[in-house]
Each structure stands twice: as C-alpha cells, then as structure tokens.
Amino acid sequence: MRLFTAVTLGNAIEAHATATLERLHALAPRARWVQSHGVHLTLVFLGEVEEARLPELGEVLRPISLRHTPFTLSIEGGGSFGVPRHPHVLWAGVGGETAALEALQDDMAAALEPLGFPRDKRLYTAHLTLARSKDSKGDAAFVACVQALEGNHWGEARVEHFTLFESKAGQYLPRLELPLAGGT
C-alpha cells in the first residue's frame, strides 16, 4: 500500500478549491492538476508499506494524536516551486496556526523514523499542492496562475484529527483516522 499521513481541510475549503482549480486550469491547461475532492495537507509520506504493518503504525500514531490539540488553518494566496519563469509546482499558501501544524508534522516524522521511514531532509513547508508540470523543464503558464492566486482567501479550516491515507488508483482511502486531544 502507498501510504501518507495528512490533515484534511473540510467541505468549505474543498468547494473553494473546486472553483479555483477550474479557473486556473484555463490558464495552464497542460499541467497535471490535483483533484479538489479530498484536499489535504500531507504531513509524512511513508511510501510503499505492507498492509500487515497497519497495526504497528496505529500504535505509533495514537499517542501523537493525544499530544496535540485542534488548531485552525487558513488557505490564502499561492506561489510556485522551481525556476521562477518555468516553475514545476503550483501551490496555495497556508496561514493561521501553522506552528501547531509544524509541531504535529515534526512529532509524527520523529515517531515514524525508528520504524524505517526516514525524515525528509527538506524543512517542512505547509502548502496545498494544486498542480504539477508535465514538462520536466517546468510550466511557464504557472506564472499567470501565481498572479491569479494573489489576494485569494479560501477560508479557514478547523483541524481536529489527522488521517493515515492509502493512495490507490488516484483515490485517497482513509486507513486510520485519529482525533487530536479534545477534537471530535
């Protein structure tokens, strides 16, 4: 199974993502766009994992959920990764209580590392991926998309749980959902 942990952003953000992606798709039609259904912020990518390890992952993740309390994030603005004139990734920005999100991600990465899931060497930067370039040289059309995202505010989302997802045939299937301390 191809697994990752993430926080979801709720129906209001999902609705805004749908409208925004439709509008941006016209500006960069050759890009590979994410699905607006189930928009999420990835915390830790685990990769290919045997199904028999799910109970072990649950044992490690449950205490993490008890150490963190719910928090609020906002989705606003956007940017790109890669060469400025030919970016490779288009993203929407994350604001609000990002320190709480980063603490959750750091705790999770540290707990999973002894199980053979190495930490990402890059600093965790909260962002909502919107599209990736199909061209290895990047997509110049993302420049116009970044401009279209300026000043755009998608709303706020209350994060009360995190989920262990399986990525299968373009779908994200929840395998384990854990409430944060005091969450529902």
- Whether 25 sits among the annotated catalytic residues: the reply is no
Yes or no: say if 75 and 94 are a contact pair by the CB < 8 Å rule. Answer: yes
* Residue of 16, 40, 68, 88 marked catalytic: 40
- Whether 88 sits among the annotated catalytic residues: the reply is no
DSSP assignments along the chain, one per residue:
-EEEEEEE-HHHHHHHHHHHHHHHHTT-TTSEEPPSTT-EEEEEEEEE--GGGHHHHHHHHHHHHHH---EEEEEEEEEEEEETTEEEEEEEEEEESHHHHHHHHHHHHHHHGGGT-PPPSSPP--EEEEEE-SSTT--TTHHHHHHHHTT-EEEEEEE-EEEEEEEETTEEEEEEEEEPTT--
* Residue of 25, 86, 127, 161 marked catalytic: 127
Q: Which residues are catalytic?
A: 40, 127
